Amino acid sequence: MCDADQQQCRWQGFVQLGRRLQTAPGYNDDIEINWDKIFQECQTSVATGRKRKFENVVQVEAQSNTKRAKFHARTPAQDVIDEFPTKRKADESFVKGGADDTQPGRLKHFTRKEKQTLKNINRLMSSSVCSYATLILVQKATITLWYCGRMGLIIPKAFNFVEEPDYLALLSVATLTVDLPQLGVRPFLFFRNSKYTAFQSAVFNLEAAKDADDENIPGGVEFKVHETSKRKAHNGFSATGRGTAVLPLHIPPALTAKLGTGDTVAKVAWPLRKRSAEASLIKIDRDELKADRELSSYLRHLPDLKSEYTTEELGLPRSKMGYAEFMDGHERVLRVMIMKAYLPLRMVDSIDEFKTIFIGVVQGHHWAWEVAEVLHRDISIENIMFYKTKSEVIGVLNDWDYAEKKSNLPLVQFNLLNTIEVARKNKRINGEGAPNDSDVHSDPPHAPTEPTDEVASRSESEPASVKQARYRTGTGPFMAIELLQSGPTYPFHRYRFDLESFCYVLVWFCLGFNPKKHKVAHIDAWKHGDLGQIALAKLRYVQSSLEQKSLGKRAKSKQYLDLYKTWAEPLAYMVCTVQDSVRDIERIVEKACRMSPEEVSEKLEGWKTDVMCYELAREQALTYEQVIAILVK
């Protein structure tokens, strides 16, 4: 019983804190609570943005996953993992936090109960509902509050509720008075079902939305979440990162004049603040193509954006902690897009529909690059969608959240001498002999690599948008081989990398698609968790006709097997030609590593001429004109 007038709380016996948790021992004495201290600390935390119990804090920044978590390999992500502030037994297990390509991960120890807490957080944050989650872990007489947002996990120092009952009282009051937004439920979702167990009839409200013309919509927009057996909510299974969720919506009659009719979805995601907004890039694509009368017909292959909303400040608990290092370039913002709903590629009803969809998407992708100068950079089977009219089927290239402007993807001239020096340095660091054909591409993609001085100095002089463009993006099974291979740095994403991704989409779909069940089987060798292993598997595929024929035996349909032979195999040959030129350049570098600096100086000019020829052959081996000629043959 708590008596606020007397500013003390009488606690007799013990309190059962959960069905499976151990209970505290009995106490016969009253526990004094200093309410003035609590109120003072509340005021101080609001004024300064700090709280008492964060002297020792664990912050786990997690890898940026995607809605396509099954086989996605998104980069970058930076894990900042500190040692847990309490002692652990030697036999307790540990888990390893994910790391990006530039910073090795360190081991973070968790107990069995802590692992269960992590699992609960992951399930909660994967529900399409939460912006953040707070869990209470009680172990005997200690309580730890776990906070997880899209930027990572924070574990404050635990407190003993017997020795420090002030904080138990504060926690109890907070738990009793909290509302849904303060629990982390997205502030624009309102549930009419008091059990909060279903999306059906929930209200999706945006108070300050903009339409496709970037004009404010007076009074905002309000939709009903319209979930049916055929239109389900989708979300990626991850606690941190983008946390993309797609909710089916119904446009109310009052908004049809402004937003149109038809099935609509809300795409809700937490991208990095420093990334260009997906909605803005789609608008650039559409505006530029719309202005060109000859090319305006390709607008239909781009997403139809109806409304968008971005919030810079949700009053998240993390932003009130006053620790600038929590942001450190990985700050995320909430972005919402209201878009036309499309069908996934696996729902095609005939091979002719598939051909029409695929050709249209390749064309729309090309003209978005040529006219609007925006490169998609994430071609995958899930991002190719379609819709039907009364007379035709139309392919749409969706999900432009990893797209980039051409101005941020500069053409960097190849420096042969510097490449030789970097290769020598890496060989000395790794204690290796001369590399051979079998180990050139065998390094794991997440192996720790230190950037060279040349790379570091160049990166420091680059604007933030250009630095961001250096990171590898894409879906692992469909990424270009050059992006999958490890190295001190990665190339800027090239247009031909997306063309190469289209090739892998063709292979994946033609060999895995079951027209009767509308399901697509996976190519396991391309789903490996190690990006370097995916690169090796793809190299074997494009360089070996036997590998191509062997993989062709997996086809579920005679029609799609024929299409595989007439479309995918010729494209694979083009990719092989690209890799031949890449390998020719690598051989020169390997040869130079075996020579003395004097010998290299003598041959350098001749090698430079050879490299220029190889680069030209590489860029001419895979072009839009060549690809479209195969598709329309």
pLDDT > 70 fraction of the chain, expressed in percent and rounded: 72
**Hey, which of 220-229, 266-275, 611-620 has the most confident mean pLDDT?**
611-620
pLDDT > 90 fraction of the chain, expressed in percent and rounded: 43
560 or 427: which leads in pLDDT: 560
69 or 585: which leads in pLDDT: 585
Structure tokens that stand for 207 in this block: 């108070």
Q: Positive or negative, the Cα torsion across 590, 593, 594, 600? A: positive
Residue 499 belongs to some domain of the structure: yes
- Long-range contacts at 326-331 (CB < 8 A, ≥ 24 apart): 326/59, 326/151, 326/152, 326/154, 327/151, 328/78, 328/80, 329/78, 329/274, 330/61, 330/77, 330/78, 330/151, 330/152, 330/272, 331/151, 331/272, 331/273, 331/274
CA distance 334 to 314: 9
Provide the pLDDT for residue 196. Answer: 60
CA distance 541 to 481: 11
Residue 527 belongs to some domain of the structure: yes
The distance in angstroms from the start CA to the end CA of the chain is 82
Q: Which domain-ending residue is among 179, 211, 229?
A: 179
Give CA separation, 10 vs 6, 16, 177, 515, 592, in Å: 10, 16, 21, 69, 80
Residue partners of 487: CB distance under 8 A and separation at least 6:
449
7 or 589: which leads in pLDDT: 589
The residue behind tokens 């950079």 is 377
**Hey, which of 132-136, 324-328, 428-432, 576-580 has the most confident mean pLDDT?**
576-580
Provide the pLDDT for residue 315. Answer: 67
Residue 195 belongs to some domain of the structure: no
Distance of CA 107 to the CA centre of its chain: 22
CA distance 213 to 121: 38
| pLDDT tens track for 529-576 | 889 999 999 999 999 999 999 999 999 999 999 999 999 999 999 999
DSSP state of 513: E
CB 246 within 8 A of CB 344: no
Domain of 553, in residue numbers:
419-631
Residue 381 belongs to some domain of the structure: no
From the CB of residue 492, how many other CB atoms can be counted at a distance below 10 Å? 16
Provide the pLDDT for residue 93. Answer: 31
Q: Which domain-ending residue is among 179, 200, 216?
A: 179
Residue 47 belongs to some domain of the structure: yes
Provide the pLDDT for residue 279. Answer: 93
Residue 344 belongs to some domain of the structure: no
Instruction: Please provide the size of the chain in residues.
Output: 633
| pLDDT tens track for 492-539 | 899 999 999 999 999 999 999 999 999 999 999 999 888 999 999 999
CA distance 316 to 131: 9
Provide the pLDDT for residue 14. Answer: 25
pLDDT band of 181, cuts 50, 70, 90: confident
Count of structural domains, the chain: 2
Mean pLDDT value across residues 425-439: 51
Average pLDDT of the residues of the chain: 76
Strands 334-340 and 152-155: unpaired
Q: Is 171 exposed, middle or buried (0-12, 13-18, 19+ CB in 10 A)?
A: middle
CA distance 596 to 445: 30
pLDDT band of 488, cuts 50, 70, 90: low
Give CA separation, 293 vs 297, 361, 428, in Å: 8, 19, 58
CA distance 75 to 237: 17
Mean pLDDT value across residues 312-339: 72
Residue 508 belongs to some domain of the structure: yes
Query: What's at 573, amino acid-wise?
Result: Y
CA distance 163 to 159: 8
* DSSP secondary structure string for all residues of 256-278: HHHH-SS-EEEEEE--BTTSPPH
14 or 234: which leads in pLDDT: 234
Whether residue 33 has pLDDT greater than 80: no
Mean pLDDT value across residues 141-166: 90
Structure tokens that stand for 145 in this block: 């509050």
Provide the pLDDT for residue 581. Answer: 94
Mean pLDDT value across residues 599-612: 92
Provide the pLDDT for residue 199. Answer: 73
Dihedral-angle region of residue 522 (phi above 0 means left; psi in -120 to 50 means alpha; beta otherwise) = beta
435 or 349: which leads in pLDDT: 349
CB 515 within 8 A of CB 543: no
166 or 231: which leads in pLDDT: 166
Residue partners of 256: CB distance under 8 A and separation at least 6:
none
From the CB of residue 204, how many other CB atoms can be counted at a distance below 10 Å? 23
Q: Positive or negative, the Cα torsion across 238, 239, 240, 244? A: positive
Q: Inter-axis angle of helices 495-512 and 545-552, to 10 degrees?
A: 40
Residue 189 belongs to some domain of the structure: no
Whether residue 386 has pLDDT greater than 90: yes
Q: Which of 97-101, 151-155, 228-232, 315-319 has the lowest mean pLDDT?
A: 97-101
Residue partners of 267: CB distance under 8 A and separation at least 6:
244, 245, 246, 336, 337, 339
CB 232 within 8 A of CB 248: yes
Residue partners of 197: CB distance under 8 A and separation at least 6:
none
CB 424 within 8 A of CB 454: no
Output the pTM of the full model.
0.76
pLDDT band of 89, cuts 50, 70, 90: very low
Provide the pLDDT for residue 191. Answer: 78
CA distance 473 to 476: 9
pLDDT band of 111, cuts 50, 70, 90: confident
Whether residue 65 has pLDDT greater than 50: no
Whether residue 304 has pLDDT greater than 60: yes
Q: Positive or negative, the Cα torsion across 86, 88, 94, 96? A: positive
Q: Which domain-ending residue is among 162, 179, 196?
A: 179
Mean pLDDT value across residues 463-481: 70
What are the φ/ψ torsions at residue 304 (nearest 5 degrees)?
Answer: -90, 100
